[in-house]
């Protein structure tokens, strides 16, 4: 994952490209996605002046292979078909504009009300997700973001199951300069969280990030363990955890929707973090999830560097996907 | 695993069977639905296209329309095509030639390589091999620690990699040390990497050239979407891997990746990971998996699992006791622990043909904790009580409930069920596994 080969970060040097604006960096990170999705759209429209059945078929293929999912794809294609029938759409350029607009609409989510920590109390954020999506790495990156804002950050090693998970988090803690609260492997994660919340209050920490063990959303007992962690945190510090973020792997297919649904049902999610967008995965699941569940996307991971975690902005995201 | 796809296909098949005669148009309708079911299951778009075309060619041909049971014929064709897609016959690990054999695991970040290394080592040891593990992931923090801890849990040696050396030299050095562990198989855990990361992909090529692995296994997450084929295709182009391991199959992943990767790379699926425990690695059988997807169960795997886990001697003793009508609570407890060894109840049920279609069973999520409760209750009984449950009166029940952290009703229920079961068992004097289903009730 994030590497020692990346010496510049260890020394705390900012990469040179820092000067370029956020928008272009986001675009750069999403280049692969764009090449995948719009690159193909462009080729599809090349030389076509009219929308015919063949073009709609090919459009369907593009939407499906971008992991947009059956439901979202169907809705988009239906929209285009209707537009064509009503003669609102009669050329590929309009079609593209209509698609973009609809996707932005799917991605634009009114932020639901969130619990705020009381003055003087730490903001407690819990990160959850299935195995291998990059929770621990993401916590490291989120910690760095808060650190840059001048916040005092603490990490809680709530993954007591995976071998050496606490060690991994401890290394991150050292890198970004955050205290790490941990116990032995196999310890009750709720106990770790109880300790961490007490310590965060005692040491006047601004942000406490809780790492949890990866778990498949279908495992009932492991999902109950999460509820317990939640209850324990809330008991120690009423209102905590204030935020629960689900970390999703961009290479995941339709299963991501099932993951989001079940985690949301059990804990109530406040945000999503989409990792690994720097590969060739199209990241289309975001559209499907936003459309279906209305959970805002907080951050996207577009690279392995410490600062490759970007705040998500629906408009910028769609803009970057669709820019020529 | 595959439940979603399996449910959908079964619904479609039911409709197909309902048609007394099939004509081109209702076959087309069914194919449309099968296509959507496969797409929803993350099977790659192009793979679906080919598959549907193949099924269509055969289903609309004479083979089906002239048959007396056209619905069955269509299902048979789908089954055959799915099996073909997943690779036909089971392919074993290739361990021939000079020892030590080298097995190298590669894949994206977070696909489960490190855990799978541990599982594979355990699997090989069960087969009489002497594996050792080589951590070559110097990038992810604490990855080496993770493998070392897994090795310690399994009591399998782990090479002490020196991070400073870099992955290539680590592997070369490890290979020269194989003799020290008197090992015949060396398993390399490589760092996760993106298929488009040229530098890191080249590193794998160098390792491959230097240590000449007999198996390069591509580890993929069963939940991967349409991108699976791009990733697998690229890894295969660069490394020419020899097989695939699909992880995290125990969730509700629709498993489309399983169907697609093989089709795109032409390489066989060799194992699937079905749990977080280190023994949760199963050999992959394409035909059995196809019948599981089609809801036809997988009795063969169940029997093999039972043979592997059941203690034959214990079973014999039990059988004798049953015949002599001396089956008591102590035996019951032993039998429970044997069943538990088979793995999660839900998985076992999934392997029994037809279980998927029974509605009542769908909602019956077997509760593992119920088993734990039963065990706790029996453990809180005296030996005398276990041998003769009839002596357990009210005050004994109270004591047992207290001791096991349950309540008297739980104890009552257990005793009632046990009495009924005993009666039933005494009626059926058949042997062995025939008695097992009674325990699930």
- Classify residue B388: in a domain, yes or no: yes
Same domain, yes or no: A137 and A90 = no
Q: Which of B29, B51, B85 is the last residue of a domain?
A: B85
Do the Cβ atoms of A281 and B225 come within 8 Å? yes
Strands A297-301 and A207-212: unpaired
- Classify residue B93: in a domain, yes or no: no
What is the rounded CA–CA span in Å between residue B343 and residue B280?
A: 8
Contact between B299 and B351 (Cβ < 8 Å): yes
CA distance A3 to chain B (A): 4
Contact between A125 and A245 (Cβ < 8 Å): yes
Residue A82's pLDDT is: 86
Same domain, yes or no: A85 and A129 = no
What is the rounded CA–CA span in Å between residue A51 and residue A313?
A: 31
Query: What's the average model confidence in pLDDT over A225-238?
Result: 94
Same domain, yes or no: B248 and B319 = no
What is the rounded CA–CA span in Å between residue B99 and residue B233?
A: 30
Same domain, yes or no: A102 and A153 = no
Indicate which CATH number applies to the domain containing A218: 3.40.50.300
In the predicted structure, residue B357 carries a pLDDT above the cut 80 = no
Contacts of A131 in chain B (CB under 8 A): 110, 112, 248, 276
CA distance A22 to chain B (A): 23
In the predicted structure, residue A209 carries a pLDDT above the cut 70 = yes
In the predicted structure, residue B235 carries a pLDDT above the cut 90 = yes
Do the Cβ atoms of A64 and B140 come within 8 Å? no
Do the Cβ atoms of B142 and A130 come within 8 Å? no
Do the Cβ atoms of A67 and B227 come within 8 Å? yes
Give the number of residues written for chain A: 324
Contacts of A134 in chain B (CB under 8 A): 109-110
In the predicted structure, residue B212 carries a pLDDT above the cut 70 = yes
Q: What's the domain count of chain B? A: 3
| Domain residue limits at B54 | 3-85
Residue B182's pLDDT is: 86
Q: What is the ipTM of this complex?
A: 0.79
Same domain, yes or no: B310 and B291 = no
Percentage of chain B modeled with pLDDT above 70 = 80
Non-local CB neighbours of B223 within 8 Å, separated by 6+ positions: A130, A249, A252, A253, A255, A256, B42, B248, B251, B253, B257
Same domain, yes or no: A98 and A152 = no
In the predicted structure, residue B146 carries a pLDDT above the cut 70 = yes
What is the rounded CA–CA span in Å between residue B82 and residue A282?
A: 27
- Classify residue B160: in a domain, yes or no: yes
Do the Cβ atoms of B196 and A280 come within 8 Å? yes
Residue B199's pLDDT is: 93
Same domain, yes or no: B65 and B120 = no
| Domain residue limits at A89 | 16-107
Residues 134-173, chain B: which have Cβ within 8 Å of A? 138-143, 145-150, 153, 163
In the predicted structure, residue B299 carries a pLDDT above the cut 80 = no
In the predicted structure, residue B251 carries a pLDDT above the cut 80 = no
Same domain, yes or no: A96 and A174 = no
Same domain, yes or no: B319 and B343 = yes
- Classify residue A99: in a domain, yes or no: yes
Non-local CB neighbours of B343 within 8 Å, separated by 6+ positions: B274, B275, B280, B305
Q: Which of B296, B330, B360 is the last residue of a domain?
A: B296
CB atoms within 10 A of CB B325: 10
> Which of A191-200, A218-227, B89-98, B292-301 is predicted most confidently?
A191-200
Contacts of A135 in chain B (CB under 8 A): none
**A211-215, B15-19, B98-102: the lowest-pLDDT one:** B15-19
* Average pLDDT for chain B: 82
- Which residue reads 């792997």 in tokens? A249
Q: Which residues pair with B271 in a beta bridge?
A: B245, B283
CA distance B137 to chain A (A): 9
Task: Find how far residue B405's CA is from the centre of its chain.
Answer: 34
Same domain, yes or no: A128 and A97 = no
- Classify residue A136: in a domain, yes or no: yes
Q: What is the pLDDT of residues B305-316, one digit of tens each?
A: 666 666 666 667
- Classify residue A160: in a domain, yes or no: yes
The CA–CA distances, whole Å, from B101 to A125, B268, B375 equal 46, 19, 44
- Classify residue B32: in a domain, yes or no: yes
Same domain, yes or no: B79 and B218 = no
B67-71 contacts at long range (C-beta below 8 A, 24 or more positions apart): B70/B16, B70/B19, B70/B21, B70/B22, B71/B13, B71/B16, B71/B17, B71/B18, B71/B19, B71/B22
What is the rounded CA–CA span in Å between residue A20 and residue B370?
A: 60
**B81-85, B121-125, B319-323, B425-429: the lowest-pLDDT one:** B425-429
More confident residue, A299 or A34: A299
Same domain, yes or no: B38 and B185 = no
Residue A139's pLDDT is: 96
- Classify residue B96: in a domain, yes or no: no
Percentage of chain B modeled with pLDDT above 90 = 32
- Classify residue A1: in a domain, yes or no: no
Indicate which CATH number applies to the domain containing B54: 1.20.120.140
CA distance A199 to chain B (A): 25
Residue A108's pLDDT is: 84
Give the number of residues written for chain B: 441
Q: Which of A78, A107, A136 is the last residue of a domain?
A: A107
- Classify residue A3: in a domain, yes or no: no
Q: Which of A59, A80, A107 is the last residue of a domain?
A: A107
Contacts of B163 in chain A (CB under 8 A): 4
Strands B269-273 and B281-283: antiparallel
Residue B90's pLDDT is: 84
Q: What is the pLDDT of residues A152-190, one digit of tens each?
A: 999 999 999 988 899 999 999 999 999 999 998 889 999
- Classify residue A6: in a domain, yes or no: no
What is the rounded CA–CA span in Å between residue A6 and residue A13?
A: 11
Query: What's the average model confidence in pLDDT over B10-35?
Result: 79
Q: Which of A67, A162, A249 sits opposite B226 (nearest CB)?
A: A67
Indicate which CATH number applies to the domain containing B253: 3.40.50.300
More confident residue, B222 or A37: B222
Same domain, yes or no: B201 and B312 = no
Residue of A nearest to B346 (CA): A219
Do the Cβ atoms of A253 and B226 come within 8 Å? yes
Closest to B236 measured CA to CA, from B257, B217, B260, B210: B217
Residue B438's pLDDT is: 41
Q: Which of A75, A107, A139 is the last residue of a domain?
A: A107
Same domain, yes or no: A82 and A138 = no
Same domain, yes or no: B275 and B176 = yes
Same domain, yes or no: A25 and A171 = no
Q: What is the pLDDT of residues B361-412, one digit of tens each?
A: 455 555 667 778 888 899 899 988 988 888 999 999 999 999 998 889 989 9
Do the Cβ atoms of A255 and B44 come within 8 Å? no
State residue B363 phi and psi, 5-degree precision.
Answer: -85, -15
> SS3 of A177, please?
coil
In the predicted structure, residue A13 carries a pLDDT above the cut 60 = no
Residue A102's pLDDT is: 86
Same domain, yes or no: B17 and B135 = no
**A38-42, A303-307, B181-185: the lowest-pLDDT one:** A38-42
Same domain, yes or no: A90 and A127 = no
CA distance A113 to chain B (A): 31
Query: What's the average model confidence in pLDDT over B98-125?
Result: 94
C-alpha torsion sign, points B149, B154, B160, B166: negative
Q: What's the domain count of chain A? A: 2
From start to end of B198-354, where are the E strands? 215-221, 243-247, 269-273, 281-283
Indicate which CATH number applies to the domain containing A93: 1.20.120.140
Same domain, yes or no: B139 and B241 = yes
Same domain, yes or no: B358 and B306 = yes
Same domain, yes or no: B431 and B332 = yes
Q: Which of B296, B323, B345 is the last residue of a domain?
A: B296
What is the rounded CA–CA span in Å between residue A219 and residue B217?
A: 27
More confident residue, A98 or A9: A98
Residue of B nearest to A140 (CA): B141
Residue of A nearest to B140 (CA): A1
* Average pLDDT for chain A: 82
Residue A150's pLDDT is: 95
Query: What's the average model confidence in pLDDT over A30-45?
Result: 64
Do the Cβ atoms of B231 and A251 come within 8 Å? yes
Contacts of B221 in chain A (CB under 8 A): 132, 249, 251-252
Same domain, yes or no: A78 and A190 = no
How is residue B191 written in tokens?
């760092």
Tell me the whole-structure pTM to 2 decimals.
0.75
More confident residue, B135 or A22: B135
Do the Cβ atoms of B141 and A221 come within 8 Å? no
């Amino acid at each position: 994952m994030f590497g020692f080969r990346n010496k510049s970060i260890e020394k705390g040097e900012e990469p040179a490209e820092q000067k370029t604006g956020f928008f272009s960096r986001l675009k750069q990170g999403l280049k692969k996605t764009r090449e995948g999705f719009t690159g193909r759209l462009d080729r599809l429209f090349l030389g076509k002046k009219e929308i015919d059945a063949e073009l709609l078929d090919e459009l369907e293929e593009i939407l499906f292979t971008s992991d947009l999912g059956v439901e979202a794809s169907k809705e988009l294609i239906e929209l285009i078909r209707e537009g064509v029938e009503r003669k609102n759409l009669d050329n590929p350029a309009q079609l593209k504009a209509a698609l973009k607009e609809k996707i932005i609409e799917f991605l634009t989510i009114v932020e639901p009300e969130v619990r705020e920590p009381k003055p003087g109390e730490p903001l407690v954020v819990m990160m959850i997700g299935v195995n291998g999506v990059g929770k621990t790495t993401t916590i490291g990156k989120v910690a760095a973001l808060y650190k840059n804002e001048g916040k005092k950050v603490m990490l809680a090693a709530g993954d007591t199951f995976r071998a050496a998970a606490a060690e991994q988090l401890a290394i991150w803690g050292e890198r970004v300069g955050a205290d790490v609260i941990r116990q032995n492997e196999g310890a009750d994660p709720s106990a770790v969280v109880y300790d961490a919340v007490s310590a965060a209050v005692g040491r006047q920490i601004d942000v406490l990030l809780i790492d949890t063990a990866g778990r498949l959303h279908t495992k009932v007992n492991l999902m109950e363990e999460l509820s317990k962690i939640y209850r324990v945190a809330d008991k120690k510090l009423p209102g905590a955890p204030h935020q629960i973020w689900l970390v999703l792997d961009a290479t995941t297919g339709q299963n991501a929707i099932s993951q989001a649904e079940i985690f949301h049902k059990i804990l109530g999610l406040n945000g999503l973090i989409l990792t690994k967008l720097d590969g060739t995965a199209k990241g289309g699941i975001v559209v499907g999830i936003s459309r279906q569940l209305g959970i805002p996307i907080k951050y996207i991971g577009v690279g392995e560097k410490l600062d490759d975690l970007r705040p998500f902005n629906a408009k910028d995201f769609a803009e970057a996907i669709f820019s020529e | 695993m595959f439940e979603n796809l399996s449910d959908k296909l079964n619904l479609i098949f039911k409709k197909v069977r309902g048609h007394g005669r099939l004509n081109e148009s209702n076959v087309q309708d069914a194919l449309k639905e099968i296509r959507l079911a496969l797409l929803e299951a993350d099977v790659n778009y192009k793979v679906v296209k080919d598959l549907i075309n193949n099924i269509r060619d055969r289903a609309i041909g004479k083979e089906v329309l002239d048959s007396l049971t056209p619905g069955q014929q269509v299902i048979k064709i789908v089954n055959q095509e799915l099996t073909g897609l997943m690779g036909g016959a089971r392919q074993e690990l290739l361990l021939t030639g000079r020892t030590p054999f080298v097995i190298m695991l590669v894949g994206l970040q977070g696909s489960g390589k490190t855990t799978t290394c541990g599982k594979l080592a355990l699997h090989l040891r069960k087969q009489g091999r002497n594996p050792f593990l080589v951590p070559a992931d110097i990038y992810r923090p604490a990855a080496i620690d993770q493998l070392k801890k897994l090795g310690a849990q399994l009591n399998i040696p782990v090479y002490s990699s020196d991070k400073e050396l870099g992955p290539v030299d680590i592997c070369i050095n490890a290979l020269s040390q194989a003799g020290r562990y008197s090992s015949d198989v060396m398993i390399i855990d490589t760092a996760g990497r993106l298929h488009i990361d040229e530098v890191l992909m080249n590193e794998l090529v160098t390792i491959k050239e230097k240590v000449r692995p007999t198996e390069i296994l591509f580890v993929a997450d069963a939940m991967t979407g349409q991108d699976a084929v791009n990733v697998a295709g690229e890894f295969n182009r660069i490394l020419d891997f020899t097989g695939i391991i699909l992880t995290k199959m125990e969730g509700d992943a629709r498993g489309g990746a399983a169907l697609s990767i093989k089709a795109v790379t032409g390489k066989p699926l060799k194992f699937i990971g079905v749990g977080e425990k280190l023994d949760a690695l199963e050999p992959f059988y394409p035909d059995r998996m196809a019948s599981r997807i089609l809801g036809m169960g997988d009795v063969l795997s169940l029997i093999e699992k039972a043979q592997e886990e059941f203690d034959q001697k214990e079973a014999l003793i039990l059988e004798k006791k049953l015949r002599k009508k001396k089956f008591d609570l102590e035996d019951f407890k032993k039998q429970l622990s044997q069943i538990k060894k088979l793995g999660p109840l839900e998985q076992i049920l999934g392997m029994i043909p037809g279980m998927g279609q029974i509605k009542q069973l769908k909602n019956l999520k077997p509760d593992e904790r119920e088993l734990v409760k039963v065990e706790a209750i029996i453990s809180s009984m005296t030996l005398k009580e276990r041998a003769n449950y009839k002596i357990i009166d009210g005050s004994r029940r109270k004591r047992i409930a207290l001791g096991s952290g349950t309540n008297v009703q739980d104890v009552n229920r257990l005793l009632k069920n046990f009495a009924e079961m005993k009666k039933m068992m005494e009626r059926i004097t058949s042997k062995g596994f025939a008695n097992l289903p009674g325990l699930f009730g």
